[in-house]
Structure 1
Amino acid sequence: MLKIKKLIGVSLVAVFSLSLLTASGCSRHPNEDQIRMMEEARSACLASEQKLNEVQNQRADLESKLQAKKAELEKAMKEKANVEQGLANWNSEN
């Protein structure tokens, strides 16, 4: 009697497990929703990569502009120092 109950229990577990596997829709090919979701993810990924490239290009442009402004500032500071030195020399001569 105990063996029969055990056999029935194991059989029920096996049947239930098999039914879960077949009912879950395991197939070799993706369905339409899965394909659509994959395409949406791919297009979102491509859009993100394009946006990243745009932002990186914008950053490089801003960094080059910053370097140009720093060089311009340094040139202006040197010119200011030269003018101040010239004024100091001119005032000491007079």
Structure 2
Amino acid sequence: MTSSPVFRVIYNGKRNSGPRSPLNSSEIFTPAQEENVRFIYEAWQGVERDLRSQMSGSEQDLVEEYVEKVPNPSLKTFKPIDLSDLKRRNTQDAKKS
């Protein structure tokens, strides 16, 4: 198995407003944790390879919308959230306070 870059994200329960560099961490990970990260990374690389091999000059074939055959009645009033807009508004609110 080849060595793949492993990025380590550390969460200690505290919020830090400044940028954090995962490479400066002294936390030790078990071989099983590192293997899980490597597995996910390599699996995603395989997905990207498959998608690139399916491209035939047009990328429109890569997007497929999922529509349920029998819609859930409790989701009838569901309204999607624009996450980019929400983040922008939260950032603006934080600057005001």
TM-score (norm 2): 0.31
Which of the two has higher C-alpha Rg?
A: 1
The answer to which structure has the higher helix fraction is: 1
Structure with higher RCO (Cα < 8 A, 6+ apart): 2
